[in-house]
Structure 1
Amino acid sequence: MWTKWSDIDRMFNAMDLLQNRMNRLFPDYGGFRGFPAAWDAFQTGPSTNLYDAGDHLEMKVELPCITKDDLNIKVQGNYLEISGSRRSDAPKGYSAHRVERGTASFSRSFTLPSEVDTDKVDAKLANGLLTLTLPKSEAAKPKQIPIN
């Protein structure tokens, strides 16, 4: 069954109208489409990239305004969990007039593509970027097989 293009246009026009009305109701939050980007990042967790370098995995995690004392990293086998929180930086005794950088917490877990040697994992946090170097366990490392 074919739908007329005018029916589809009418449906999208109605959706746009609803979106515009919602945006007017929630102007302080950038419209109804979403809250500030920092809020979104902590709702879903920080952005990550995972790379395979042959003998180890490397993960980069964006963690702006997070200190190493506010992070918790756990690795077991091929399971990785990163959690943390951002504390309030409001000076003591002050009352806030506007708070956009409030407290937040997150937790992300990953099933890694191979087992990791947990004793050799290295974590570095610099300029809001966490870099995890995750050496593969001996059983998970690729081996060159000689041909006889």
Structure 2
Amino acid sequence: MGVHWLAVGRATAAELASWHLPATVPEHGFNSEAVLALPCLQQLQEKQVLICRGDSGRELLAQSLEARGARVDALAFYRRHGASHITISAQADWVMVTSVQGWQALQPVLPAGCGVVAAGVRVAAAVQANHAGPVRVAASAHDDDMLAALNAGGSDR
């Protein structure tokens, strides 16, 4: 059996690899849902899982793993802090948002009519709930996906 290292995204996997800890990364997606779809997380009866994460955020991963039979512990590796001062140029045509928390920080200073590229449907739903401007949904928060959505044109909202 042993230890299986998993990472939500490529940057985390690269950091683990630098410590000689090979990690499995979802091929598509950059969120808890993508990690939960990994084959190694489907049968978890009597397994132990340690989630290394920030001190806040969604509980979906832990709750889903527990529902699959795992004993789950979480270890906070970092603390999230809201940005104290954000400015966006009034001439900005588009901004990119990779999380609901990011959207909450940007929303009050977003210029009228500015478009938003949202990383995935969950983030896009949060944006669309209180933004009248155009919204484009990226497949994930990966740079390539965000840029593809920005360059897509014609697929707003």
> Which has the bigger relative contact order, CA under 8 A and spacing at least 6?
1
Task: State the TM-score, normalized to the length of structure 2.
Answer: 0.22
Which structure dedicates a bigger proportion of its chain to strand?
1
Task: State the TM-score, normalized to the length of structure 1.
Answer: 0.23
Which structure dedicates a bigger proportion of its chain to helix?
2
